[in-house]
Structure 1
């Protein structure tokens, strides 16, 4: 299992490097974000322990379910799914470093209010 996960990551990284070279771009400027939708914490840990520490989840429920298993391993956690207003308070409990899917001004304002409240 470990070999397959790591081999997939290596293969993707090689494709990224090749695309960067073709477009005259520095491959070090491109970061591979591992979307962890439906992936078990055990499999995610393999990637994290191999140094691939930029991960993303697209559902608050999955983020919640995986949080305790992954919180002790250093990583950067992004949220890439649709965020409902009623999930703002909940998502902030799980050390999300970046929410990439803010799609409405009112959602951004409510997030800002919640962050100010929690300071």
Structure 2
């Protein structure tokens, strides 16, 4: 079974690689400018090990109860773990123990908690500000995230927080609001917001955008990281 699964993952990775390479070529970008993050939520640690064998070095999770045991089971592998889900402050201490990057930072209270946890564990946490294009001014979006005009305040807070490193921005294509159904426009706006932020924080170059259905739009808009789950691992258990 493991041999079959490895072959399946290898074929899926090759197909995703072709898509990313083609999108980079269309956009006049170098392939090495875009990092593939494989979102392994609901899939077992055995899949993470197979992905590592196949060359994957960045993996993502969105639920601490799934991620913590999986990260522990794969602690011997040289992987970068990204936490991409909405994060409650009561889960911060656990997430800070294994995540290298938290991509869903969207409020001051969370920054304070992450900083305290990073200091406690002696680790540096990379942080991305999650931008929500369906949010009203100062509000959070349905999937978490802060409105574009709130990015500056949060970026400054992360940059000043002990134990945290401001990595850049993340967004999910919005389901509502002016950018609903307009992924390319949303991702282009994200890149614009990133450019403005880098005036004050030039090292915060990550732009995490795009998933299985819209990775091409994200790459063409300028994303540096794409988060791919279904196209690599298949339809998640319980979803069809």
**TM-score class normalised by the smaller sequence:** over 0.9
Task: Work out the CA distance in 2 between the residues paired with 1:74 and 1:15.
Answer: 25
Give the equivalent residue in structure 1 for 2:106: 103
Of 55, 63, 70, the match for 2:74: 70
Task: Work out the CA distance in 2 between the residues paired with 1:84 and 1:31.
Answer: 27
Instruction: Tell me the alpha carbon deviations over residues 39-89 of structure 1, each in whole angstroms, 9 at most, x when there is no partner.
Output: 111111111112111000110001112123211111111100111011111
Task: Work out the CA distance in 2 between the residues paired with 1:118 and 1:39.
Answer: 27
Gaps of 5+ in 2: 123-240
Gaps of 5+ in 1: none
Matches within 5 A, 1:52-91: 52-91=56-95
Aligned Cα RMSD in Å? 1.2
Larger mean CA deviation between 103-112 and 15-24 belongs to: 103-112
- Measure how far apart 1:110 and its partner are: 1.9
Matches within 5 A, 1:21-60: 21-60=25-64
Structure with the higher fraction of residues in strand conformation = 2
Cα 1:26–1:49 shift into 2, 3 Å = same
Q: May I ask how many residue pairs the two structures share in their alignment?
A: 118
